[in-house]
Amino acid sequence: MQSFNQLVLSAPRRLAMPIAVYPGAALTGASVQEITQNPDAQFRAQAALQHRYHAPWVLSAMDLSAEAEAFGCSLHKSEDEIPSVTGRLVTTLPEARELKVPKPGDKRTAVYLETLARLRRHYPHLLVLGGCIGPFSLAARLAGVSETMELMVTEPEIIHTLLSKSTEFLGAYLKAFHARGADGVIMAEPAAGLLSPRMMKEFSCAYIRQLADSLPSPNFALIYHNCAAKLMHLPVLWETGIQTFHFGVPMDLPAALAQAPANTVICGNLDPTGVFVQASPAEVEQKTRKLLYDTKGIRHFVISSGCDIPAKAPLANLDAFFKAVDDTP
């Protein structure tokens, strides 16, 4: 069993893991841009949150543009937003075939590897989790998300070529995280949630399975995150060999937990914006308690945000979340 699941299933009480690094900027004075470009700023943001909440794990930040940038994509950057991909890098099959696969550590992937290494050195007794994009979501950024949806039907070889190269890079990236001390990685594959189960199986799950079958260690946790997945996607997701899933608001969590294979852990799914940014602390506490009540007695559940919590989320709301978790049996 992988390290993350061992910790969850053996814990004396249920655990909480909001996907939160950027809110730490409120404690350190860093900007979002600094966190995505400077490993010291990213480390300090996570360390500040860890000092406040004392979680059993620490995370590097979620940034789904770093890998695409390493392949050569152009980005839009601003002081207070995570970078986003602009334009299309690949439009034809020859371009897809000629695309060079980068190495882990190229461009800003170095920021996330170095942050992970610093977290490992500073927290030797905690689980340390990195973060990366999934193969389909990366391929969709290389070819354009809307264009990818069309190309899967009209020119699927382009997408499969990009998926093969994305998977090659991500396999090496996972090994690089492991070499720096990671206990696992949260792999974000949100674009696959837009697909039918049949298309998800062909264009995402088949490549996720390749990664799951070649992890750098039997204890290394590959945590699959998809904030758009629904119940209809679960049968093909179970076939990936993944042992830990992290779902967003569209997922019916109690139903998913009831269907999950033995020793599979599921995390989620409080709305990162609607709850952690827009709600009052009292509302955050109420919604947290409700989700804990709806999943009462289920050991293979970790309450979390359904996706990455924005930097503008008030710390009072994170305080309310952790208070509700601590006060609810």
218 alpha carbon, distance to own chain's centre: 20
Locate the DSSP E strands across 51-145: 57-59, 74-78, 81-86, 127-133
Assigned token pair, 104: 């882990």
Q: Which of 41, 45, 40, 80 is nearest to 59 (CA)?
A: 45
CA 325-294-246 angle, 5° bins: 70
The radius of gyration of the chain's CA atoms, rounded to the nearest angstrom, is 19
Residue 329 pLDDT exceeds 90:
no
Q: What is the pLDDT of residues 89-133, one digit of tens each?
A: 999 999 999 999 999 999 999 999 999 999 999 999 999 999 999
What letter would DSSP give residue 202? I
Asked if residues 230 and 250 have their Cβ atoms less than 8 Å apart, the reply is yes
pLDDT one-digit tens code per residue, 286-312: 999 999 999 999 999 999 999 999 999
pLDDT, tens digit (0-9, with 9 covering 90-100), for 264-287? 999 999 999 999 999 999 999 999
Q: What is residue 1's predicted lDDT score, i.e. its pLDDT?
A: 78
Which is nearest to 66 in space by CA: 28, 114, 123? 114
Average pLDDT for the chain: 98
Domains of the chain: 3-327 (3.20.20.210)
The answer on pLDDT for 172 being more than 90 is yes
Percent pLDDT > 90 in the chain is: 99
Average pLDDT value for residue range 194-213: 98
pLDDT at residue 228, as a whole number: 97
| DSSP result, 247-294 | E-TTS-HHHHHHHPPTT-EEEEEE-TTTTTTTS-HHHHHHHHHHHHHH
Closest by CA to 71, choosing from 45, 38, 108, is 108
Helix, strand, coil % over all residues of the chain, rounded to 5: 50, 15, 35
- Rounded to whole angstroms, what are the CA distances from 150 to 91, 144, 160, 203, 327? 12, 10, 13, 13, 49
At residue 257, the pLDDT reads 97
Dihedral (CA of 300, 304, 307, 308) sign: negative
Q: What is the mean pLDDT of residues 122-147?
A: 98
In this predicted model, what pLDDT tens digit does every residue of 13-64 receive, in sequence order?
A: 999 999 999 999 999 999 999 999 999 999 999 999 999 999 999 999 999 9
d(CA 194, CA 300): 26
Mind giving me the DSSP string for 140-159?
HHHH-HHHHHHHHHH-HHHH
